[in-house]
Amino acid sequence: MNTEIFAHRGASQYAPENTMPAFDLAWKMQADGIETDVQLTKDGVPVLIHDERLERTTDGAGYVNNFTFKELRTLDAGTWFEEKFSGTLIPSLDEMLGWIQGKPLYLNIELKNNKIDYEHLEAIVIEKVRHYQLLNRTILSTFNPDSVIRLRPFNHEVEVAYLTSKRNKFLASAAKDLGANALHIKYRLLTPRLREACQREQMNIRVYTVNHPAHVHKCLEYKCHGIFTDVPDVALRLREQY
């Protein structure tokens, strides 16, 4: 089994995270998939941004959900990273899905609803992914257990992953009971026991955020189904050598 390499927020070590330049670079590096984060604007448009607030990755200030899509599109989401990315915009989910549709890439969409539990986020994202005919190569992940439960009716159409950084002796079975069919864990939780538990429960296991070569190697050795990395080029090279 080949451990799939997902570019975490795109090739985010080399371009501003969750932007089209970062996604495009990950594609050029030949990553297997792309991971991104989705939130809702004031007018209900799904946009790709990690933080609930705008300050870290744009020249704006305030909460994402206090702005309309049109207002968010006036912000610069690239200069904070490097001057050459000046003028880069916050992408909509539609823009990204249209871009990825013709490329043989997997897609992991993290629903950023653990702090702000956006109403209808699951249904809105599912409908978008269905519209672009990408359900068969999309994973929906979330830290919010209630969101996993809300996604349960769709887990035969799309892979649903429970995201966690918390230790739990029965993590694999607990995730499955929620309705997940995959488990996405912080690297420090990875153990042979958890890997075996996921195998027993027939759940895919993926690990975040794996940038150090030794950590990449461990995930390959444990035959994890995927890793999320800011440096997809490094991870791909290490997989090839392995």
Amino acid at 94: D
Rounded to whole angstroms, the Cα distance separating 130 from 82 reads 35
Closest CA to 96 of 13, 40, 162, 34: 34
Q: Where are the alpha helices (DSSP H) in 51-200?
A: 69-72, 93-100, 121-131, 145-151, 171-178, 192-200
CA dihedral 126, 129, 130, 134 (to 10 degrees): -130
Active-site positions?
8, 50
H helix runs in the chain, sequence order: 20-28, 69-72, 93-100, 121-131, 145-151, 171-178, 192-200, 213-221, 232-241
DSSP string of 123-152, one letter each residue: HHHHHHHHHTT-GGGEEEEES-HHHHHHHG
